[in-house]
Amino acid sequence: MPVLRQVPRAEVTNETVLAYYNRLFGDRDPVAEPGTATGTPGDWWTVYALAPDIFKHAIDGFAVYRHPDRKIDPVLRELGQTRAGWVKESQFVYSQHCKSLRGLGVSEEKIAGIASWQVADCYNEQERAVLAYADCLSQAGGRVPDEVFARLKSFWSDEQIFEFTYITCLYDMHAVITRALRMEYDNREDPIVEIAAPEGFSAADFLSAPRPKE
């Protein structure tokens, strides 16, 4: 379950929120009867409904990256969104955009290679450049070497670079929010936990154990 309250259908008064509830869940209350046609729990929508104006802002953001005015190749765009999801460890964003890549006809080899693109041979030079830039945005916090921009400018205009930057950072944000609030496929325990010592092993035993030589 998400860490925040979900908004049941009976409490929805905003027309935009209600339209999406109807579109995604039919007549069901998505809190009492969760699940969408694509297999997701659907709690992203019910949590964002807490603030209808933010709900609409987020929905408008989805329309931005698919708008006909966009100048970038949708495959390159989706590579950035998918890599941002992987870098930020959002199973939801990563999983959803793997599906988007597949819908655009991207090979299974390239989809599977997102996690280790640096050593994968399946990407062309443009794809490798946008994946490197996606890492600069999502992994390096916006620290971008001049060489990366030089490579991007060999095939993209400034407008296209700006589009990619905005969209990738938008999905970096979605990945962080979804993980933080444990929505959708990010409703999972943190994988980094302490592994218990053997029974009878004490802290004193640990402190006296030999250390590897430096």
For residues 16 and 52, the answer to whether their CB atoms sit within 8 Å is: yes
Q: Which two tokens stand for residue 46?
A: 């019910």
Cα angle at 77 between 92 and 151, to 5 degrees? Answer: 130
CA dihedral in degrees (52, 28, 2, 95; nearest 10)? -100
Q: pLDDT value at position 171?
A: 97
Q: What value does the mean pLDDT of the chain take?
A: 95
* CA distances (Å), origin 65, targets 4, 133, 158, 170: 28, 18, 16, 10
Q: pLDDT value at position 211?
A: 66
pLDDT one-digit tens code per residue, 126-171: 999 999 999 999 999 999 999 999 999 999 999 999 999 999 999 9
- For residue 213, pLDDT over 80 is answered with no
The CATH number of the structural domain formed by 74-186 is: 1.20.1290.10
pLDDT one-digit tens code per residue, 25-58: 999 999 999 999 999 999 999 999 999 999 999 9
3-state secondary structure 112-125: HHHHHHHHCCCCCH
pLDDT one-digit tens code per residue, 199-211: 887 767 666 666 6
Q: pLDDT value at position 137?
A: 98
Overall average pLDDT of the 95-101 stretch? 97
CB atoms within 10 A of CB 46: 26
The answer for residues whose C-beta is within 8 angstroms of residue 52's C-beta and 6 or more apart is: 14, 16, 17
Question: Rounded CA gap, 152 and 134, in Å?
Answer: 11
Q: Which two tokens stand for residue 154?
A: 């060999």
- By mean pLDDT, which of 16-20, 156-160, 183-187, 188-192 is the weakest? 188-192
For residues 90 and 186, the answer to whether their CB atoms sit within 8 Å is: yes
Question: Rounded CA gap, 110 and 98, in Å?
Answer: 10
Q: Which two tokens stand for residue 161?
A: 């670079």
* Residue 32, CB-side half-sphere exposure with 13 Å CA sphere: 8
Q: pLDDT value at position 132?
A: 98
Q: Which two tokens stand for residue 16?
A: 């935009």
Overall average pLDDT of the 99-113 stretch? 97
Sorted by where each begins, the domain ranges of the chain are: 9-65, 74-186
